[in-house]
Amino acid sequence: MEAVALFSFEASEADEISFQKRDIIKVTEMEDDSSWVTAEIKGKRGYVPENYISLLPYPWFVGRVSRLEAEKRLRWQDTGVFLVRESESAPGEFSVSVSYGERVEHFRVLEGGGQYCIWDETFCSLNRLVDYYRTHSIAAEKLVFLRDAAASPHLLPHPVRNPYPNPYKTTSQESLLSANLYSHPPHHEREPSQRLHEPVVGKPRLAHALCDYTPPHTAHLHFLRGDVIDLLDCSSSLAWRGRCRGRVGIFPPEYVRPLYH
């Protein structure tokens, strides 16, 4: 999964990685009882302090859910409604469960070398894989495009904080299965990270773009889905002011999700 850096961090150990505030970080492993997560930044992997980052919201990831439970949640949903879960048969791997209406199909996500794939196309994160199959058929025998479900309390549970993506691609599904995954010492052997002593603020400083926004006027801010926006003024309920890609402008608040820390 992906996260945004809330603060800059300078690595002090060889197995840690440095990053700057607002960097997008790929989280590759996360455990409930640890203050450190394993992540990848610009091709380098290592530990980062959990309290320095904020996971970007992806409600389709449901964590440890069984195949049977996934079928129960998805059956009779519209074709293409999906969820991503940790594989029941292969711990640490992932499956995409997709509704075909009267039945549910399961697609195993193969990993190795830092990338993910279901068929021939490979991606640097589960997020990119999901986005691709929203506009390209995930099924070979018929056209099935991933789509979000209408709000439904029984489909997606509360937010999860379980292990997230690990490795990525090679050249074929067979080689992916045998790819050597990145190894690291147990989390409990590390010292807990110290928290930054910054004043607690009631207003968000950053926001995550939920969809593309094409401005009708030059005073508005253009951004794309997934962009991280600096929030400069959130006092109005009709329009917020922010900075993205070096430009400043206003935009409708419903296009973004604030990131609190």
Contact 92/64 with Cβ under 8 angstroms?
no
Look up the CATH architecture of domain 61-177: 2-Layer Sandwich (3.30)
The residue with tokens 């006092």 is 235
Sign for the CA dihedral angle at 152, 156, 160, 166 comes to: negative
Confidence of residue 19 (pLDDT cuts 50, 70, 90): very high
- Cα separation values, 106 from 82, 118, 172, 195, Å: 10, 11, 19, 41
pLDDT value, residue 137: 92
Confidence of residue 81 (pLDDT cuts 50, 70, 90): very high
Neighbours of 28 (CB within 10 A): 24
Asked if domains 2-56 and 206-259 share a fold, the reply is yes
**Domain 2-56 CATH (choose: 3.40.140.10, 1.10.150.240, 2.30.30.40, 2.70.98.40):** 2.30.30.40
Report d(CA 170, CA 193) in Å as an integer: 34
Confidence of residue 181 (pLDDT cuts 50, 70, 90): very low
The burial class, CB within 10 Å (0-12 / 13-18 / 19+), for 184 is: middle
Nearest Cα residue to 122 out of 175, 161, 70? 175
Confidence of residue 2 (pLDDT cuts 50, 70, 90): confident
Domain ranges of the chain: 2-56, 61-177, 206-259
Rounded to the nearest angstrom, the gap between the alpha carbon of residue 122 and the centroid of all alpha carbons in its chain is 16
Q: pLDDT for 189-235, tens place per residue?
A: 444 444 444 434 456 788 888 888 887 777 788 998 888 898 888 87
pLDDT at 60 over 80: yes
**Domain 206-259 CATH (choose: 2.30.30.40, 3.90.380.10, 3.90.420.10, 3.40.50.720):** 2.30.30.40
- Degrees (nearest 5) of the Cα angle 198, 204, 209? 135
Contact 209/227 with Cβ under 8 angstroms?
yes
Q: pLDDT for 98-148, tens place per residue?
A: 999 889 999 999 877 778 899 888 888 888 899 899 999 998 888 999 998
Nearest Cα residue to 107 out of 140, 58, 150? 140
Report d(CA 185, CA 39) in Å as an integer: 14
pLDDT value, residue 145: 94
